Amino acid sequence: MKRFKVFVFSLFLFACSEQNIAPPVCRVTPQAASNLMGEGACVIKINKQLLVLQRASGKYDLPFSPNISDTSAQCAAHQGAWLETGFNVEVGKKLATQRNGVSLFACHLNVGFDGSEESIPPPPWKPADVVDMQFIYPFDIDLHQWHRPDQFIAVMDAYSTHVVNLAQIEEKSDE
């Protein structure tokens, strides 16, 4: 009986303690793998909608995390997507570069979203300044609604390039 009480107490103790979730291993499309170093961010597009974060300022932004290790820019983009959205994306080819040198990559999300979701709750481990996630049509907003307005043009270019690349892939699969 004493062992049972110790077991139950241990169970409650561990069940109530904070759990750390390890980030997943970096996922990069084999044909797009590169040794490009630096910071990276994800452009996640589903049905012409762009997945964006809404920061505490109320402005939109891409999932991003500074590259604090000696990993590729693609792995930095993967890490940023995981930390800020909780999604284990697959990072594809480079689409554009922002003025501050951050590489923007096509990231693929295969979790059943169709882009019509109005709001997606961020993961519990998200940074404090991430308050919401949404799918938006990026040409419905202007640069004053973007978290870093000087990077808005690069994001729109990356979005447009991502749309063209997806259309080419769909055409090849129809053949």
Q: Which domains does the chain have, with CATH numbers?
A: 22-174 (3.90.79.10)
Average pLDDT, the chain: 81
**173: which DSSP letter?**
H
Burial annotation 103-140 (CB, 10 A radius, 16+ → b, else e): bbbbbbbeeebeeeeeeeebeeebeeebebbebeebee
Report pTM.
0.77
pLDDT of residue 11: 38
pLDDT of residue 137: 93
pLDDT of residue 162: 74
Q: How many CA atoms lie within 13 A of 40 on its CB side?
A: 31
pLDDT at 171 over 60: no
Q: Kindly indicate the confidence band of residue 163, based on its pLDDT and cuts at 50, 70 and 90.
A: low
pLDDT at 174 over 70: no
Nearest alpha carbon to residue 127 among 89, 86, 98, 90: 86
Q: Kindly indicate the confidence band of residue 20, based on its pLDDT and cuts at 50, 70 and 90.
A: low
pLDDT of residue 10: 42
